[in-house]
Each structure stands twice: as C-alpha cells, then as structure tokens.
Amino acid sequence: MRVLITGAGGQLGGALQRLAPAWAEISAIDVADCDLTDVPMLTARLVVEAPELILNAAAYTAVDKAESDEETARAINAGAVAVMVEAMAGTGGKVVHVSTDYVFDGTSSTPYAPDAARNPQSAYGRTKAEGED
C-alpha cells in the first residue's frame, strides 16, 4: 500500500515513518519539499505520489503565532486538508488527519469523547477544527 506521510520532519511524522509496517510503501513530505499553502504544488505532489493512504501529521503548530497569522494557519490546518481529501475523492483512498485537543475549550475535567462538542478558544484551535470538517 502506498502511504504518504505529511509533516515528515515533525515529531509525529518522524515517528510514523519509523513505526511504519514493512508492507507499507512509505513516501514522506515536509515543508522543505512541499509548501502546503501552495495548492498547485500540493496537488501536483499528490498526483506524483499517488498515495492510497495519506497520514496527515502536518500542521501549523505555532499556537501563539497563529493569533497574528491565522491566514497561514488556516491554509495549512484546513485548506491543505481539503486539498488532500479532494485528491483522494473517487480513488478509494483515505486521509487520516491528526487534530488536537485545542478544538475543545479545555473546561472538561474528564477526557473528551471523539464526538464531544468543539469550542476552540484560539486561532490554532479554530483552524484545526476547520480541518476536521
């Protein structure tokens, strides 16, 4: 199975590469070789890679900086996800998108259920929530 890991240079992306099963044909991209805010570049890269599964570990994770650069955070955390999903539409392929607990408001005293109501309190949380949609 052809698997594309995005965010390959990050902690999670690196771990996914190291832990990949032998049967997976892994390719990996990071910001150094594919700007996720550049839709034509990302689209072309997805065509070349032709993955059957995308593990999206890429994210704009500068939580504080996202407050003043929400446009870039949105382009990466939501826009790039939409491009990946659209690229996989009709191919039978899947996208696994990694999100964050920042999509919640942090007021719960117990762990959040996957279907818990979201209430992001920051630009980072809002853009990651948009990526889930």
* Options 60, 102, 112, 124, the catalytic residue: 124
Q: What 3 state SS string does 58-92 have?
A: CCCCCHHHHCCCHHHHHHHHHHHHHHHHHHHCCCC
Token representation of residue 92: 């039978």
Domain definitions of the chain by residue range: 2-132
For the question of residue 112 being annotated catalytic, the response is: no
Residue length of the chain: 133
Token representation of residue 68: 């003043």
Give me the tens of pLDDT residue by residue for the chain, a chain 133 residues long.
999 999 999 999 999 999 999 999 999 999 999 999 999 999 999 999 999 999 999 999 999 999 999 999 999 999 999 999 999 998 999 999 999 999 999 999 999 998 999 999 999 999 999 999 9
Token representation of residue 88: 């996989």
Q: Look up the CATH superfamily of 2-132.
A: NAD(P)-binding Rossmann-like Domain (3.40.50.720)
Q: Is the pTM of this model over 0.85?
A: yes
H or E stretch at 97: strand 94-97
